[in-house]
Structure formats: C-alpha cells, structure tokens
Amino acid sequence: MKDIMTAPFLVEMIRTCTNMYNHGWDERNGGNISLMLDESEVAEYGDVKRVLRTIPTGFKAPSLDGKYFLVTGTGKYFKNVQYEPAVNLGLVKIADGGENAQLLWGFTDGGKFTSEFPAHMMSHAARLTVNPSNRVIMHCHPTNLLAMTYVHTLDEKAFTRTLWQMCTECIVVFPDGVNVLPWMLCGTNEIGEATAEKMKTARLVVWAQHGLYGAGVDLDEAFGLIETAEKAAEIYMKIAHLPLVNTITDEQMHLLEGRFSVKAREGYLS
C-alpha cells in the first residue's frame, strides 16, 4: 500500500488547515474541517477493515452509514496540523447508522474528532440531498464576517445583499446567498440540526457572534467560498460608518447573472 502521508487528500487537508490558520480564521483550536472520501481513495493507503478503535458519535445519520471522512480533532490547533498530521487528524468510517465512527488512521494521542462532528455530519447529509457531489464541510471564525454580525441585521436577505454589493464577484461565487443563525450553544445537536436545515438552501451559514460554516465539492471550493465572503465583509466593515455614494445595483447584478450563467437566489434581487 502507498504511504498515506503522500495521499493527495491528506496533503491538501494539511495545506488547507495551514492556510486557514495563516488567514487568521482558526485561532487556537477554533474551527474544524471534514472531508468525505470514497472507499477506493482510502483503500490505496490503508486497510479499510482494520479498525483501531470505535468512537461514539452521539447522533444518528443513517444516510452516511459506511461513508469515510478525514476530520480534524477536538482541541487541536490548526497551526500544528502540518507538523503532526497523525495526531491532529483522523480518518474514520461511519458505522451503526451513524452512532459510531471507526477510526482507521490518526488521532495517535488517543484523541477524537472535533466536538462539532455532529454538526458536520448533519450538514454533509443535508448538502448531499441538494448536491450529491458535496464533499466538504468547513467551520472557521473569519474576523470580518464575525464582526459584521454585531453591527448588521441578521436578516438573511439583507445580509446576503450587503455582501453581494461589496464585491463584483460575490454574486458569481455564492449566488445562493448566505444563511444566518442567531447565537446558539456550540457543540450541540441542536445547532447541528439548525445548521443542516440552513445548508439545504445555501452553502454558507453564518453563526452569529461565532463564525461560519461553508460547504463545497472539494477543499478549494469551500475555502474559496469563505474567502470571498470574508473579503466582502472586510470591505463592509471598512465603509459601514461612511456615507454610501456608490454601490453595485440590482440591474448590474442581473448583468452578472447573464455574463456568468448564474441565478441569484429567488426573491433577493428586484
């Protein structure tokens, strides 16, 4: 079998964690990522039948039974992933209708997956009903999006339109908009269920006064989605206190729809 340290999915996960930390999105042990893999990918680098230990998940996800995930660990710092990937990451297989996860590789210090694992799995299940190609759920604490939740209404349409108006590319990158949850206790099934429901209509879900969940078909898409929304929020936070002289109009956004073959979320443009 090939050395798992050379696996493209592991190499890209390490790079992504490092980039997210360098962007300032994942301070200390803030943030987590889960990447769904095909059995054929995993089998190249390890014995899929060799279970190191079984970890209870605390939830049920029948639709994910038998699925494989590379996931960040609870209490782990993103800055350390590049130095000790086998400690900070784990490769698991969902079993028993989602109630357990079989550890196949990683978490060598006895650790386990992120405390947000239920929210991740529920969001994966939700996104797969919308887009069967979805593979990534990414949670982080982008500074400007987080700041924006303190000074901007949390109405989803208004929040989305503000971001769309900040950068020409925004409506092209996330035409489905941004969904928003009010502050909720993190690490619970309740916030996982609420996030999963929001994931059915948008790939970005803001957790007010906390952070953001993003989804994508691969790590690049999820990262780029968050990066674009965060750039728009940064511009907003720089100008929110100033008189607005110019903006991107709805008419101009309709032109962008036509030029890039995207469709803005229904009812969000006049």
Given this model, what pLDDT does residue 83 score? 97
What is the percentage of the chain residues whose pLDDT exceeds 70?
100
Query: Check: CATH 3.40.225.10 for 1-115?
Result: yes
Is residue 58 scored above 90 in pLDDT? no
Q: Is 44 a catalytic residue?
A: no
Residues 136-159: what's their mean pLDDT?
98
Is residue 135 scored above 90 in pLDDT? yes
pLDDT band at 248 (very low <50, low <70, confident <90, very high): very high
Set 41, 84, 116, 251: catalytic member: 116
Domain with CATH 3.40.225.10 in the chain: 1-115, 117-270
Question: Mapped to the 3 state alphabet, what secondary structure does the chain carry?
Answer: CCCHHHCHHHHHHHHHHHHHHHCCCCCCCCCEEEEEECHHHHHCCCCCCCCCEEEECCCCCHHHCCCEEEEEECCCCHHHCCCCHHHHEEEEEEEHHHCEEEEEEECCCCCCECCCHHHHHHHHHHHHHHCCCCCEEEEECCHHHHHHHHHCCCCHHHHHHHHHHHCCCHHHHCCCCEEEECCCCCCCHHHHHHHHHHHCCCCEEEECCCEEEEEECCHHHHHHHHHHHHHHHHHHHHHCCCCCCCCCCHHHHHHHHHHHCCCCCCCCCC
Is residue 136 scored above 80 in pLDDT? yes
pLDDT band at 71 (very low <50, low <70, confident <90, very high): very high
CATH code of the domain occupying 117-270 = 3.40.225.10
